[in-house]
Structure 1
Amino acid sequence: MTDGECTIRPAGAADVAAAGELWQAMADQHAAYDAEAWSYRPDAKRRWCEEFASFLRQADKILLVAEDGGEIVGVAVLAVEEPLVEMARRRGIVREVVVAEFARGRGVATRLMDVAFEEMKARGAEEVVLHAALENATAVGFYEKLGMRRVMYRMYRKL
């Protein structure tokens, strides 16, 4: 899983804190897009890290990190799910893909997603879905370049 300077590998317990820092940067970016729709708990990062650590022990979860020179510069949180009652295919879910801002534009996300697709397919996924913030045109364009297409809008309303 090594390509150039960046190595894509399965995450381990030692990666939780660094992955949490990357998640926090993503959460801050989403909150800047729309603070109401992306309203996080004060302890969100701690809770996310706890969930990430629990995923390390779950067979249906795939956790990948991109490492460059000993530093974690990217993380992917994935799952493979059995088909919903009405659906025909086993589905890969991309929960999060985050690359450190300083490492963007170097192919890290592409390498993470290439390995993610391989891992999900190896576990029986026949399709992949994800959510991307509408305001994040860079991410939407990136996923489209990977062959993904828009099929649904996620709607929001505060009650």
Structure 2
Amino acid sequence: MAAADKDGFLIGAVAVVVSSSVPYPFLTSRPRGHIATIVITEHYRGKGLGRKLMAVAEEYAKGKGAQDIKLEVMAFNTRAVGFYRDLGYENFSHWLSKSL
């Protein structure tokens, strides 16, 4: 986990996990990074902090041998989707949901 602070107050954090477990039999077993969460306080959004934290997370994963990195983002969160696309992230799979 990497964190950013300003004057002793937490303003952002990212958590990344690297594992070799394969949840699906059709995927090759190799180290993969997974962004578990990234949060930036509202006042500091849009100021480059998210990009810096993502770069730290990616470098950490790479240093642990990860060959790729994944994350999950809600489809309705268009601002976040655009942010990740700007960083080079692409669709990997689709989760579908239905209210019951």
TM > 0.5 fold call? yes
2:46 corresponds to which of 105, 108, 118 = 105
Does residue 1:122 correspond to 2:63, yes or no? yes
Identity, in percent, stands at 31
4+ aligned runs moved over 3 Å, structure 1: none
Cα displacement (A) at 1:157: 2.5
CA distance in 2, matches of 1:120, 1:93: 8
2:76 corresponds to which of 135, 150, 153 = 135
TM-score, scaled relative to structure 2: 0.88
Residue of structure 2 equivalent to 1:71:
9
Root-mean-square deviation (CA), in Å?
1.4
Give deviations 1:94-137, integer Å, cap 9, x for gaps: 01111000111111100000100111100111100000111111
Residue of structure 1 equivalent to 2:33:
92
Q: Is the 2:31–2:66 Cα contact (8 Å) retained in structure 1? A: yes
Partner secondary structure for residue 51 of structure 2: helix
Q: Is the 1:81–1:90 Cα contact (8 Å) retained in structure 2? A: yes
- Unaligned ranges ≥5, structure 1: 1-62
Name the structure with the higher helix share. Answer: 1
| Higher RCO by CA contacts (8 Å cutoff, separation 6 or greater) | 2
Partner secondary structure for residue 87 of structure 1: coil
Q: Is the 2:20–2:29 Cα contact (8 Å) retained in structure 1? A: no
Count of aligned residue pairs for this structure pair: 97
Aligned-partner residue type, residue 106 of structure 1? K
